[in-house]
Amino acid sequence: MLRKLLTVKMGGMGAEMADRVLVTGVSGFIGGHLAAELLRRGYSVRGSVRSPSRIGEVHTAMAAAGVEPADLDICRLDLLSDQGWAEAAAGCRYVLHVASPFVLEKPKDPYTLIRPATEGATRAVGAALDAGAERVVMTSALATMQFARTPKGHICTDSDWTDPDDPRLNAYTVSKVRAERAARELAQRRGAQDRLAVVNPGAVIGPLLTDDPGTSVTAIQQIMSGALPMVPDLRLPWVDVRDVADVHIAAMSSAHAGGRRTIIATDPMSLIEVAGVIRERLPQASHKLPKRAMPTWFTWLASAFEPQLRDNRWLIGQKQRFDRTPAETLLGHPLRPVPDAIEETGRSLAERRLI
């Protein structure tokens, strides 16, 4: 196995040790795939969880990914507490801040999302810079760009910013915008803009490492389980979790990523098109799939009564486009085809009996 090596002088002799990487939120969907890929590439990985109760789940995920769970050092970090951050970042050449709060139900107080996202981002960046990390890579979201007010036909790029004060935004989107801005402002104040790279993924899907389907995979789970007999006209920018992990790793050392935001998303595919892919490729798991999509006008009408639709009104019937060239440049190849990612997601859900 190739090793990423850092040479340290000890008593006049060269001693080699694997580069250490801190991955926050290692129990999450992206964090788990990212930690596993880093271990496969020979990095020394320290992963954080919010609660010790998630450690067993992390070990299960690493085993499912085909890596040795014992090779992952796990620590406890809380986005709302200073405790442990300095120790976790110590000795790490890179810090990948993936952890972020997310709830499917709309919170009564939006700051239950905004505060931990923002404070966690500044804690992660501050600890990384204090520890001398060469690069901190932050997982943000496409939502920090895609809801900017732009003309029809606009291709979304890294220069677009969603306005966090727009009253139509849900708490999750506001939390991602404010967290990303807070991280960038801190790096700028410290004169370390080039030491921060931001990755902005769309709707992340792909093979599961645990029985927790994650956020975007839940949409496919609902389609396959019959929970949506008629699907709303929502079109999402799907992306494979393994590409997301690879972009994070590439952004650790690439000069092209320093100080930049990198979109990793595809042009949106509707939920009924997703159902069509599953029906064609996984016929044995297709008996509960919806056959009809809500007309756009009916989806708009339903959004007046359904909170999740109301929070995503900007995605109803939309055909947005995104500049994924920087991500593909970092990867050195095109993103995985979305139908392949959908197929593997559906297969994973079926094999785990989650539908």
In the structure encoding, which two tokens stand for residue 234, read together?
């929502």
The pLDDT of 49-60, averaged and rounded, is 94
Contact 327, 204 (CB under 8 A): no
Backbone angles phi, psi at 264, to 5 degrees: -130, 95
Q: Strand, coil or helix: what is 270?
A: strand
- Residue 293: other Cβ atoms inside 10 A: 19
CA 159 to mean position of chain CA atoms = 20
Whether 319 sits among the annotated catalytic residues: the reply is no
Total domains, the chain? 1
Q: Tell me, yes or no, whether 225 lies in a domain.
A: no
Q: Tell me, yes or no, whether 217 lies in a domain.
A: no
Residue at token pair 């790096």: 187
Question: Quick one: DSSP state of residue 281?
Answer: H
Q: Which residue range is the domain that position 155 belongs to? A: 5-208+238-268+319-337
What sign for the dihedral angle of Cα 253, 259, 261, 262? negative
What pLDDT is recorded for position 309? 77
Position 295 pLDDT exceeds 70:
yes
- Residue 36 CB contacts under 8 Å (≥ 6 apart), including other chains: 61, 62, 65, 66, 67, 209, 245
Contact 46, 26 (CB under 8 A): no
What pTM was estimated for this model as a whole? 0.92
pLDDT in tens, 88-102: 999 999 999 999 885
Q: Tell me, yes or no, whether 176 lies in a domain.
A: yes
CATH number of the structural domain spanning residue 129? 3.40.50.720
The pLDDT of 180-189, averaged and rounded, is 98
Among 9, 106, 152, 176, the active-site one is 176
The pLDDT of 174-197, averaged and rounded, is 97
Q: Tell me, yes or no, whether 45 lies in a domain.
A: yes
